[in-house]
Structure 1
Amino acid sequence: MADRRRLTILGGGGFRVPLVYSALLGGDSPISSVVLHDVSAARLGAISRVLTAQAATVAHPPEISVTTDLTEALTGADFVFSAIRVHGLEGRVIDERVALGEGVLGQETVGAGGIAYGLRTLPVVDAIARRIALVAPGAWVINFTNPAGLVTEAMAAHLGERVIGICDSPSALGRRVMRALGVPSARLEYAGLNHLGWLSGVRVNGENLLPRLLESDEALASFEEGRLFGASRLRALAAVPNEYLHYYYDTEDLVRASLAATETRGEFLLRQQDECYARLTSPSADPLRSWTAALRKRDATYMALEGLGERDEAEGGGYEAVALALMTAIASDTPSDLIVNVRNRGTLAVLDDDAVVEVPCRVDGSGAHPGSGAALPAHGVSLVTRMKSVERAVLEAARSGSRAVAVRAMACHPLIDSVPVARRLIAQYQRHLPELAYLR
């Protein structure tokens, strides 16, 4: 590809950044240079060592530069990849433990933890979006900062259609379902919000093959969501939910398992990554070997507490593949079909046009365009509309600085559903997270 582009990664010292860089080394990438930005110079140094090792055997790899200056990082960017974590993994641990102290789920994007994460992240991404609009108005922003749909909607207030949220869960679900059906490609009918969607159709030559899948116990047992939700439930739903629906469908079991566990997911990741970054800063360590070993352990334990077990080894194609496909489609103006987070624009009738939804889109040089025909299953409508009202309350709380609105967001969430609990949660989060001092 003759026209080469510059990619800026916000959160460039993050553990998963080497996955993105690895995807750029495949030869078909439109990216010729990568700028890593982070608030931590130490983490930037550690991760840049891994990237340098990845590039060592590749001819003409994308150039790497690092900076802690946001304006410097953004100036001249064609694409901006946002993958920041405000208050780091320590914040995730607080999200989890405060929620569990009230007997509710504290998963980082679902329930109380997701709201706390959003409340401390929205002021930061709002400032970032304003800076991008000022110094890189022509850049395309690919958001992977969680909660991805909520953050994308906040950034869209300043960036409009030039911010697109991504998640690997819907595309991975589609690949697993197609593999179970034995078809190489299909038109996927998927709709919802980020971490709250359903696959309701898998069409090949106009025929929906999903009913065939749902009829087969063997086929359903061959992929992760089939095992996670079970054949009888999937048949009753007449759809395959995103794995994160497990938190809504099996809440009590997951709360019990979380309370009984010796450590939360955040505590595991914090411990593992502290060890990994310590090794990466050692001059005698092999940075790529150390990082790869930590990645394998991380992936092998993903959603283990939730009963998912180890991921399929041949899965591949995570969020870095979605990001690369998105950048390639835009840079080359070559249409590609991807499930991403964009403004609704009439796609789902139950939501307004500005609501960010997760639906199949045709992506080309002019951005991501939701396809026609996306529809929520009837049993998902009330949950999606309720969760969008929760997201809107979080956005309002972040804009206004209102503690009362933040409490309302907590209380309205179906996994909390209690004003007294919501008040205690907000008070505890404010006690432990200085970023929430703005709520008054």
Structure 2
Amino acid sequence: MRMSTKRLVILGGGGFRVPLVYGALLSPSSPIGSVVLHDVDPGRLAAIARVLRAQALSSPAAPSIETTTDLTEALTGADFVFSAIRVHGLEGRVIDERVALAEGMLGQETVGAGGISYGLRTVPVADAIARRIKLVAPDAWVINFTNPAGLVTEAMAAHLGDRVIGICDSPSALGRRVVRALGLPDARVSYAGLNHLGWLTGVQHEGADVLPRLLNSSSLLESFEEGRLFGAAKIRELGAVPNEYLHYYYDHAALVKAELAAPETRGEYLLRQQRECYAMLSSQSSPLEAWNAARRQRDATYMAMEGLGERDDAEGGGYEDVALALMLAIARDAPTSLILNVRNQGTLPLLDDDAVVEVPCAVDGSGARPLPGASIPAHGAELVKRLKAAERAVLSAASSGSRSVAVRALASHPLIDSVPVARRLMTGYQANFPELSYLR
């Protein structure tokens, strides 16, 4: 019988992807005995709880499920806190996209103008949550999936230190695809960067780096998603395999053109789909079936709105497995290695120690520590420094309430790089988001 005693609190517990996390917790190895769902929307909270209770029927040792809209009540007694909030919901993502596109800019939720807007309205909320955790559950480990994940993790780390760890599924999924293409499942990958801005720079197997074997074979490169996305010639030129989100930087103009030509943005598609889905979850007798159908459709169209086509090798969420592996390593003091968002601590010399970076980490009962040896490709160094500067400007704007600093955050982003455009973007975002009224 599974001895699961740890209490997990999910902030954003009414979110569409929460059943992925709960599904991972049904594993016999899971250390979680109870799950508390917290959300500010009681309707969404009730709908997702119906899905989880249907999932629980498949496992006699499924974690118990509680729901609440009271943050202090949720956090009390927490061993782990999983943060996956979305300030202003998917409606906010639509606004992020449309305001940016009106200026000929990318509005993607973590990249460019949309990412800065999302960060500016999320950081104050994440800061307040971190303060509450420190007060109510100071011994809890916080797993942050709230986007922009690296930026939000850094904001929370100001209060929680190394007890907050950011996760993302993109680097680990890239690593799995690369070692699968090479036919070396026991190989270990080298990866470094910021969240949604990183590169796979090596593949170690039996004491040698076998990445050159991959780079020299167009057929191997084009056998997986990132290889087809960037093309074999581009990857060979870089000498590293980019995270899929670098497509927004390397092919920005083409993606903006494709989004302007599309009948709806990715946010508009997801908003429409989720409204239909939540209505069904609240009314149908088989909420799990309805949720699974919506999830399959969502996975199949991932990144399709940017003109990239449908994924033929979608692996589901992925991040739920990273979260489970992280909780297992900490709860059981079982050492493992994971690519995570943690404080730099001297790992990447081009950034200061407190900068949150995305690198391979050693994880055990004492938390996560960056492994030595991570490095940014020379061609990516300036981009990383500029993105970190933009993130730091967001943090400064959020703490000071300064609109001019928020404009600087937008203007310093390499996909914007214009003070007049940044001012217009800020005007557009503040006109649509009451959450940004603090910027004066």
1:344 corresponding residue in structure 2: 344
* Pairwise CA distance, 1:187: 1.8
2:330 corresponding residue in structure 1: 330
- Contact 2:299–2:314 (8 Å) recurs in 1: no
1:176 corresponding residue in structure 2: 177
SS in 2 for 1:305: helix
- The correspondence of residues 258-277 of structure 1 with structure 2, limited to 5 A, is 258-277=259-278
Specify whether residues 355 and 240 from structure 1 end up closer, same or farther in structure 2 by C-alpha distance, changes over 3 A only: same
- Contact 2:258–2:307 (8 Å) recurs in 1: no
2:295 corresponding residue in structure 1: 295
2:243 corresponding residue in structure 1: 242
- The correspondence of residues 19-38 of structure 1 with structure 2, limited to 5 A, is 19-38=20-39
SS in 2 for 1:296: helix
What's the RMSD between the two structures over aligned residues? Answer: 1.0
1:427 corresponding residue in structure 2: 427
- The correspondence of residues 108-147 of structure 1 with structure 2, limited to 5 A, is 108-147=109-148
* Pairwise CA distance, 1:26: 1.5
> What's the CA shift string for 1:128-156, capped at 9, x where partnerless?
00000000000000000000000000000
User: Separation in 1 of the partners of 2:181 and 2:364?
Assistant: 29
1:210 corresponding residue in structure 2: 211
SS in 1 for 2:175: helix
- Contact 2:4–2:30 (8 Å) recurs in 1: no
* Pairwise CA distance, 1:176: 0.2
SS in 2 for 1:203: strand
* Pairwise CA distance, 1:216: 0.7
- Contact 1:228–1:307 (8 Å) recurs in 2: no
Judge which range, 180-189 or 94-103, deviates more.
Answer: 180-189
- Contact 2:37–2:66 (8 Å) recurs in 1: yes
Instruction: Answer yes or no: is 1:40 the counterpart of 2:41.
Output: yes
1:281 corresponding residue in structure 2: 282
User: Separation in 1 of the partners of 2:314 and 2:16?
Assistant: 21
User: Separation in 2 of the partners of 1:27 and 1:365?
Assistant: 19
* Pairwise CA distance, 1:286: 1.1
- Contact 2:80–2:141 (8 Å) recurs in 1: yes
- Contact 2:300–2:314 (8 Å) recurs in 1: no
> What's the CA shift string for 1:61-112, capped at 9, x where partnerless?
1000000000000000000000000000000000000000000000000000
Q: Which amino acid is 1:57 matched to?
A: S
Q: Which amino acid is 2:438 matched to?
A: Y
User: Separation in 1 of the partners of 2:161 and 2:58?
Assistant: 40
> What's the CA shift string for 1:241-283, capped at 9, x where partnerless?
000000000011001001000000000000000000001111x
2:374 corresponding residue in structure 1: 374
Instruction: Answer yes or no: is 1:63 the counterpart of 2:83.
Output: no
* Pairwise CA distance, 1:310: 2.6
Instruction: Answer yes or no: is 1:198 the counterpart of 2:199.
Output: yes
Q: Which amino acid is 2:132 matched to?
A: R
User: Separation in 1 of the partners of 2:106 and 2:143?
Assistant: 28
Q: Percent identity?
A: 75
- Contact 2:11–2:39 (8 Å) recurs in 1: yes
The alignment of Structure 1 onto Structure 2 pairs a total of residues equal to: 439
1:230 corresponding residue in structure 2: 231
> What's the CA shift string for 1:331-390, capped at 9, x where partnerless?
000111100000000000000000000000011000001001000010010000010000
Q: Which amino acid is 1:78 matched to?
A: D
* Pairwise CA distance, 1:181: 0.3
* Pairwise CA distance, 1:317: 6.2
Q: Which amino acid is 2:175 matched to?
A: G
User: Separation in 1 of the partners of 2:136 and 2:175?
Assistant: 37
User: Separation in 2 of the partners of 1:306 and 1:204?
Assistant: 35
> What's the CA shift string for 1:277-331, capped at 9, x where partnerless?
001111x431001000000010000011334333244635610000000000000
Q: Which amino acid is 2:387 matched to?
A: M
1:391 corresponding residue in structure 2: 391
- Contact 1:224–1:308 (8 Å) recurs in 2: no
1:417 corresponding residue in structure 2: 417
Q: Which amino acid is 2:331 matched to?
A: A
Q: Which amino acid is 1:112 matched to?
A: A
Runs in 1 of length 4+ with deviation above 2 angstroms? 305-317
User: Separation in 2 of the partners of 1:4 and 1:168?
Assistant: 26
Specify whether residues 317 and 329 from structure 1 end up closer, same or farther in structure 2 by C-alpha distance, changes over 3 A only: farther
TM-score by length of 2: 0.99
Q: Which amino acid is 2:93 matched to?
A: R
